[in-house]
Chain A
Amino acid sequence: MVEHGIHATQAVVTLDVALPGIIWGWMITLNMWAKSVGTGVILVGAFLLYRHKKEEMPNLRWTMPLISFVFLNIFLLFTLTDLHHPYRMVNIFLHPHWTSAITVGAWMASLFTALITVMLIIGVGEELPGVPFKGCKLTAWGSKNGKLYDKIFPFVVFLAFPVTMYTAIIMAESSARELWQAPAEVMQMIWAALLAGSAGLIFVSGKWSKEARHDLALVLAIATLFSFLMYMGEYFFSFKSSEAEATLAYVHSGGAYNTEFWFGMVLGFVIPFFLAVSNMKSDNKTLLRFAALLALIGLYMAKDVWLKIPQMLPLS
């Protein structure tokens, strides 16, 4: 029967070279994930400072830049490590090519990290005298320049948006991977930052007021809900091009990364959403921290799948 032969009538590659597999792997996933936390705590921290008095969140002044500093350095470390010539990173600053989102992003992220470092020094100098050691000139300088913290903070918040979003522009410039050529990617980055930022701050919110923690749970709930809805929209309804469709069809059919994707969705978005919503009524710190932990794990898995699946498609 003809229909039984259709499969065999398709063109079949019978001789070809080995094609590259996954080029951007777990290091890039970790890079994006860590950047979401590093920028997200600033965005969510700014929101909380807008809504509440500083006294309600006594440790925010130093924990916010500390979390951001740690995760931004993880992000920068793995950005560097993923390069085949890490020392040549300096070329981005010596020979910048401004049409590249990688260049623009590297400059912005470096500036952002420098400003966060200043905020951290001031925050630690003011709030934690004697840390890291007595007589530390850096933190002593920080303790005397509290006003500088307040002056640079608005600029840092403003910069956090492009720093968190520029990866979406890199993905848009990666024109070989059509799955990433979606306007939704920019919003995904923002939701990821809000999710990761609220999750990061939840771990240090033990002594905060109930109201402040309520707002953290609210941000986490909204971010997980919208992240989930956007992934679902892209996963099921966003068949824009033949390549994006072929990529998703492979995952739909139970191919590699199908399990990781659904684990990411349920673990990272669905369960934390319900936990966060329930926590808005009853202030359960442990449950909220559990939700934050799940959200961070799930976000990593979701990002990992979205990064890798379009790379499995042969380009030629």
Chain B
Amino acid sequence: MKLGFLVDLNLCMGCKGCEVACKVENEVPLGSWRLRVKYIDIGTFPDTSRSFTPLRCNHCENAPCERICPVSALHYLENGIVNVDSSRCIGCAGCMMACPYGAIYMDPETNTADKCTYCAHRIESGMMPACVVVCPVQANIFGDVEDDTSHISQYIMEHQGAVQVRKPEKHTNPKHYYVGGGTQTLDPLAQQRLEGYNLFNNITHLKHVGNPNHGVIDRFLEPFEAEEKLDNRSFIDFDNHESEGGH
């Protein structure tokens, strides 16, 4: 069994339902995302179009994150999922440097690497990943790519020639496919990512990795300290933090 994911970008309408479902299901802290939907505008007015690209871990067959992890915190499950054992992670961020898709983040609550696991806990119980269930247009298709009769296998066969993966030149053999994508939607180098306020939000970058309130000394003192109270606001450290809502 080799579980795979396919997103039909022709169907995706950018509702971000999958993004929200993922955060709720996996209790992903504010400021971190296992799955995100990026809006990309193409063309000049009035001939413009907007495309939506959901981005998550590609669960590569030849995963660079698994290879570089010094303690096997990132490991393969039998069904092909690249899983994370946060209790073993040492927080070296090697996986973040290795993943060509930028799919791994440092969880600010646990200060360990985390990412999409295709909702491995749900799969184990015979359920579909949260993002698949919530998608109103069934743009997310999930299943066994080794089973010729599975929905995903048949979808791939039906759309031969139009199925793409991100960065195939990396030889990671991603198990995450796109239909209806193109260079402008799948290649970040073909997009302008101008920092600053854009149409909807502030395009910016995180100024920290992990918990912004977890300094070098805190890392050493952590085992001896009482558990600190964290709320979602603890993890916000964007450029617009001070002037949120003011622009």
Contacts and interface: CB of A to CB of B under 8 A. Distances in A.
Interface of A: 5, 8-21, 23-24, 81-89, 91-92, 95-97, 99-103, 106, 170, 173-177, 241-243, 246, 311, 313-316
Interface stretch (B76-84, B154-162, B205-213): B205-213
B168 to A, nearest CB: 13
A9 B44 CA distance: 5
B111 A85 contact: yes
A21 B205 contact: yes
B31 A20 contact: no
A83 B214 CA distance: 12
A173 to B, nearest CB: 5
A176 B99 contact: yes
Contacts of B220: 86-87
A146 B132 CA distance: 69
Given A23-B209, A84-B112, 7 more contacts: A14-B203, A20-B105, A86-B219, A91-B70, A91-B88, A103-B70, A103-B71
A11 B71 contact: no
5 contacts: A20-B105, A23-B97, A86-B90, A96-B71, A97-B72
Interface in B55-109: 55, 64, 67-72, 88-94, 96-103, 105-106
Closest 4 CB pairs of A and B: A84-B91, A315-B102, A15-B39, A174-B97
A16 B67 CA distance: 29
A92 B113 CA distance: 16
Nearest to B42: A11
Interface stretch (B2-10, B134-142, B192-200): B192-200
B59 to A, nearest CB: 15
A21 B106 contact: no
A316 B55 contact: yes
A281 to B, nearest CB: 45
Nearest to A14: B199
Given A176-B100, A314-B102, A13 B72 contact: no
A13 B190 CA distance: 10
Contacts of A103: 70-71
A146 to B, nearest CB: 37
Interface stretch (B120-128, B145-153, B181-189, B226-234): B181-189
A314 B94 CA distance: 17
Interface in B8-31: 31
A15 B204 CA distance: 10
A315 B64 CA distance: 14
Interface in B23-53: 31, 33, 36, 38-44, 50
A175 B44 contact: no
B216 interface: yes
Contact of A12 (B191, B201, B219): B191
Contact of A91 (B90, B105, B172): B90
Contacts of A24: 93, 97
B220 to A, nearest CB: 6
A185 to B, nearest CB: 14
B209 A20 contact: yes
B223 interface: yes
B94 A100 contact: yes
